[in-house]
Homo-oligomer: A and B are copies of this chain.
Amino acid sequence: MEAPTGEVRVGAKPTMNYVLATVIQFNQGAKNVVLKARGRAILKAINAAQITVNRFLRDQVEIKDVKIGSEVVGEPDKPRNISTIEILLERK
C-alpha cells in the first residue's frame, strides 16, 4: 500500500505550528506532505517548508514540486482573485 500524502493548510497561526504539523506527518509515516496556502499566508508556507527541509528534517525531506495558481474569492457580486501555492515535500 502506498504511504498517504499528508496535507497542511497554512493560515493565521505562527509559522512554527505548521512546521511541527508537517514534521509530525512525516514521523507518522507520510511519504509526501503538501503545504497549501493562499494570499498573505503564502510567505509563511514557504518559510515553513524551508525550515522543515533545512533544519528539522535536513537530508531526509526535500522540496519536490511547487505550484502557484489563483482562486476567485469574495462575494458573488464582488469577486476577486487570490494567489495560491502548493508546496510538495517528499521523503528522500
Contacts and interface: CB of A to CB of B under 8 A. Distances in A.
Contacts of A46: 42, 68, 83, 85
Copies per complex of this chain: 2
B69 A50 contact: yes
Interface residues of A, number: 19
A67 B70 contact: no
Contact of A68 (B40, B66, B81): B66
Given A43-B83, A50-B69, 17 more contacts: A39-B43, A42-B42, A42-B43, A46-B68, A46-B83, A46-B85, A49-B68, A50-B68, A50-B70, A50-B81, A50-B83, A54-B70, A54-B81, A63-B68, A66-B66, A66-B67, A66-B68
